[in-house]
């Protein structure tokens, strides 16, 4: 059996149709449509409660690729010499392994997440990738407002410069990623066992969908096209109309990624991979779109919009398709489970994650009693089960407890109403999962790592 894992960066669960049921997430933006993911889900096991443990980008991928926890131990860093990745494990078992990605953090100096792969293909130019050094041909003023600082204008300028070579929809990044992935599958079909890891940076910002997918906004809007949101309270730097524009651009990005997933699925079927391949689709995390006042990821934004991701497993021939489960999964469980399904279960005993194969096969509908998420260097932690979400704040700030069943938008803090539920969740994770840092000590964690390779600090 072959293995294909697809990671879509920053894809919120509630922007995939099979999860939102046709309901709009925001009252001023039409519900995002993802027909190709929906069709795939019809032949897959659909998980409601799969969560990253350590955030953001690279810690989440570390857990996916190694089956190890990150939150108590490590932040954003390269693979260590003694780490053992999926490609290294599967390579020893006779698999030919390839990675295709436009996530520029993989190719940052020293990151070495391609170690063990027989082939790796980098698509350059996403976000702050120092790819084009010439000034952008587009006018930066059309993509910022008066609140954007010089630092943010330079960031937007780099993004726009990276888009200067794009002329048609086939040149957009998602198209290039999935075209390359299709080519790799075609060229390697003669191998008996394949592992392909496809990491698509979209729908991560900048939100710059092709014109035919930029259809979720108000056609009468004449303000700046803010393809890059800033941090902090959105009301401090963007009007309601500008925030609406941002949300519409994100929805357009999601729809465009879905379109190219459809092209990829069709190619898999044409080449016969649908009948002999385990295909896994997920995202590293979601993305706040002002749901709780802020855009961008951050240590203090541990709500559904950041933590809830699509999580779909399709077996060869669509076996077990249509099974939907509320079992709680964390990313370190992915590799052990994949090895178990591939008949290589003897390899995962040393991993910190645990196989949830019984859930996939419909034998069980539970796996973990609770999940924990956060930033290794951040002070906040989110602990949740299939009903309650507890956000533990730094000393001096109020903790938060939400009933996810009756309040999925997490608007009513019930910490004083159900303190026993908060105590129950807290008791499931010991002090090793928590850090005593004050928020002032960890300000800018996300930006510090994501901008390090772009030389913009």
Identify the residue with better confidence: 439 or 185: 185
Question: Which CA distances in Å does 70 have to 74, 200, 204, 288, 377?
Answer: 5, 22, 22, 22, 11
β-pair partners for 435:
none
Which DSSP string do the residues of 315-340 spell out, in sequence order?
Answer: -GGGTTTT-EEEEEEEGGGHHHHHHH
Contact 65, 85 (CB under 8 A): yes
What span, in angstroms and rounded, lies between the C-alpha atoms of 373 and 375?
A: 7
pLDDT digit string, tens, across residues 209-221: 999 999 999 999 9
Is 255 part of a structural domain of the chain?
A: yes
How many independent structural domains does the chain possess?
1
User: pLDDT value at position 389?
Assistant: 98
| CATH code for the domain of 364 | 3.40.720.10
56-87 confidence digits (pLDDT tens): 999 999 999 999 999 999 999 999 999 999 99
Spatial separation of the C-alpha atoms in residues 454 and 129, rounded to whole Å: 5
Determine contact, residues 437/379, Cβ cutoff 8 Å: yes
Peptide bond into 149 cis (omega under 30): no
* Residues ≥6 apart with Cβ < 8 Å to 167: none
In a domain, 362, yes or no: yes
Question: In this predicted structure, which of 223-227, 249-253, 452-456 has the lowest mean pLDDT?
Answer: 452-456
Number of helices followed by number of strands (H, E) in the chain: 13, 13
Among 158, 248, 212, 223, CA closest to 450? 158
Q: Which residues contact 70 (CB under 8 A, 6 or more apart)?
A: 53, 54, 59, 60, 62, 63, 332, 376
* pLDDT tens, position by position, 134-168: 999 999 999 999 999 999 999 999 999 999 989 89
Contact 57, 105 (CB under 8 A): yes
Task: Tell me what percent of the residues of the chain surpass a pLDDT of 70.
Answer: 95
- Whether 342 maps to a domain, the answer reads yes
pTM of the model: 0.95
Tokens at 237, concatenated: 């730097």
Classify residue 383: in a domain, yes or no: no
Alpha-helical segments (H) within 31-84: 35-41, 57-66
Asked if the structure places residue 190 within a domain, the reply is yes
Domain membership flag for residue 409 = no
Q: Taking 50 as the threshold, does the pLDDT of residue 17 lie above it?
A: yes
Kindly state whether residue 354 falls inside one of the protein's structural domains. Answer: yes
Residue 452 within a domain: no
pLDDT in tens, 338-384: 999 999 998 888 899 999 999 999 999 999 999 999 999 999 999 99
Domain around 151: 2-375
Q: Is the pLDDT of residue 425 over 90?
A: yes
Tokens matching residue 415:
């910490």
Give the pLDDT score at 347. 85
């Amino acid at each position: 059996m072959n293995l294909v894992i697809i990671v879509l960066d920053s894809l919120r669960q509630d922007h995939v149709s099979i999860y939102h049921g046709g309901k709009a997430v925001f009252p001023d933006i039409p519900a995002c449509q993802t027909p190709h993911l929906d069709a795939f889900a019809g032949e897959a096991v659909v998980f409601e409660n799969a969560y990253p443990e350590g955030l953001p980008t690279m810690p989440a991928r570390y857990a996916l690729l190694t089956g190890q926890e990150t939150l108590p131990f490590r932040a954003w860093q390269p693979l260590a010499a003694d780490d053992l990745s999926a490609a290294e494990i599967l390579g020893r078992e006779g698999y030919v392994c390839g990675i295709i990605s436009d996530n520029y953090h993989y190719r940052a100096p020293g990151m070495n997440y391609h170690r063990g792969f027989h082939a790796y293909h980098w698509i350059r130019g996403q976000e702050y990738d120092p790819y084009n050094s010439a000034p952008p041909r587009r006018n930066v003023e059309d993509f910022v407002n008066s609140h954007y600082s010089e630092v943010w204008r330079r960031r937007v300028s780099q993004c726009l410069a990276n888009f200067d070579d794009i002329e048609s929809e086939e040149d957009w990044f998602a198209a290039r990623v999935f075209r390359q992935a299709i080519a790799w599958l075609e060229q390697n079909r003669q191998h008996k066992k394949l592992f392909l890891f496809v990491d698509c940076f979209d729908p991560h910002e900048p939100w710059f969908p092709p014109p035919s997918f930029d259809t979720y906004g108000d056609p009468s809007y004449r303000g700046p096209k803010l393809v890059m949101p800033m941090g902090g309270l959105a009301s401090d730097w963007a009007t309601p109309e500008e925030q609406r524009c941002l949300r519409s651009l994100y929805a357009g990005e999601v729809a465009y990624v879905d379109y190219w997933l459809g092209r990829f699925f069709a190619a898999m079927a044409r080449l016969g991979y649908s009948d002999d391949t385990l295909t896994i689709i997920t995202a590293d995390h979601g993305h706040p779109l002002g749901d709780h006042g802020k855009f961008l990821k951050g240590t203090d934004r541990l709500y559904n919009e950041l933590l809830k991701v699509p999580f779909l497993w399709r077996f060869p021939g669509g076996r077990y398709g249509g099974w939907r489960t509320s079992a709680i999964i964390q990313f370190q469980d992915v590799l052990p489970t994949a090895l178990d399904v591939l008949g290589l279960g003897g390899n995962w005993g040393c991993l910190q994650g645990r196989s949830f194969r019984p859930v996939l096969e419909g034998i069980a509908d539970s796996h973990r009693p609770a999940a924990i998420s956060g930033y290794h260097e951040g002070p906040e932690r989110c602990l949740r089960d299939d009903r309650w979400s507890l956000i533990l704040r730094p000393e001096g700030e109020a903790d938060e407890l939400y009933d996810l069943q009756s309040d999925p938008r997490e608007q009513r803090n019930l910490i004083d109403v159900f303190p026993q539920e908060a105590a129950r969740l807290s008791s499931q994770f010991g002090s090793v999962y928590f850090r005593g840092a004050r928020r002032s000590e960890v300000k800018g964690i996300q930006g510090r790592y994501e901008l390090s390779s772009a030389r913009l600090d």
